[in-house]
Amino acid sequence: MRGTDASVYAAHGLFLGHLLFGYWHHETDTYDITWTTPFCIMTLRFIGLVMDIYDGAQKPESLKPDQKLTAITDKPSLMEIAAFGLFFQGTLVGPQFTLSKFRSFVNGDWLDSEGKPPKSAFMPSIGRFLAGCTYMVLHQWGQFWIPDKWFNSDAFYGLSFFWRWSWVTLWFRLTMYKYCAMWLITEGASILSGLGHNGKDKEGNDKWDGVRDLHIIKWETGHDYNSVVESFNCGTNTFAKNHIHRRLRWLNNKLASHVVTLSYLAIWHGYHLGYFLLFGVELGCVQAQNQLYALIKRTPGWSEAIAQPIARPFIWLFGKIVISYSMGFAFLMFGLIKTKYWIGPVKSLYFIGFFIYFVFWPILHIVLLRVLPRHPKRPEEAAKTTVETKKEL
């Protein structure tokens, strides 16, 4: 079924269906380290492979630029598929990579002029490994300091609302370091093997960010939700963007495409209600941010005010607090897994994330749209609006 709609449907049904059956069969009250752990990574990889082969069977002019980069025109053999799917550095926690990337690695495109591995890979590899070890130590310390069960204790419920939310936010950051550690250590191995090679920069130096899942500086210092998406779990986010979201253009609705993409990722994680609520809050956060940015752009003087150097530290601090506390609340429902474990802590926070992003902000946004002044339309925009109005009439 190479290059057909049926092959794409079959890939999702077989690989994702098999994964979901595994989740159902092995589900417990905690995170389950079973065969489903590596298979969830391979599920996206094999589905992506089938979709890339589908793209390779289409007319080149019908493909988008990102599809042309990953499209496969020559059918891989079973041996190549096995090597691609079971490559030892990409099965446990990632990284995600395409067959085009894997073929480039196997063909030795990353080797130097003498056909030898570049020595420049050593230091970046060691750097990512040591960074991963640092994150692992911080995570282990965090698990000892703030264990999951503490959020259902009298000590936690006895705290003030502010401190309950603050401790949840700190726990969230320390828990996320587990994922940071795994990705960094794996990336270090991928760089050393050559899989992480990503061509050369303008000065002719080797780039080793080809399979990067974590951009450390942006992850630690970013102050909006865009920085989170661009810096954390990059491989999965790239898959979701290129193989799910951008292929939903036929919906002709960005919000609908976003909802479907996040629902897909929630299902891929498993059946727990908390997974779906986490991605639901994420959707609300991103929508609120986009609406705020649009308000800033259309309101006279607002963009100029926040662009002042004296305002930048306050903008950064405000953004960092907002995304940290918002993600901390949402992650409670993901990190504690079972509803019986997270419902108490979420109730103690008065469902604050849902209230802010699905009640308070939508109302405030409508009010601000009505009361805030806006830039006068440019002549070309006014003419465009007039033409569109005539068409409607």
Distance CA 89, CA 45 (A): 13
- Torsion angles phi and psi, residue 202, rounded to 5: -65, -25
Annotated active-site residue in 139, 197, 223, 233 = 233
237 assigned to active site: no
Annotated active-site residue in 12, 198, 215, 269 = 269
Distance CA 318, CA 320 (A): 6
What tokens were used for 236? 């999965």
Our CA angle for 141, 222, 135, nearest 5°, is 20
Distance CA 330, CA 346 (A): 9
Question: Positive or negative, the Cα torsion across 95, 101, 104, 106?
Answer: positive
252 assigned to active site: no
CA atoms within 13 A on the CB side of 45: 25
Nearest to 149 by CA among 337, 387, 377: 337
Distance CA 351, CA 326 (A): 11
Please classify residue 102 by burial: count the beta carbons closer than 10 Å to its beta carbon, then call 0-12 exposed, 13-18 middle and 19+ buried.
buried
Distance CA 252, CA 97 (A): 28
> Do 118 and 206 meet the contact criterion of CB atoms below 8 Å apart?
yes
Distance CA 192, CA 125 (A): 6
* Residues that are catalytic: 233, 269
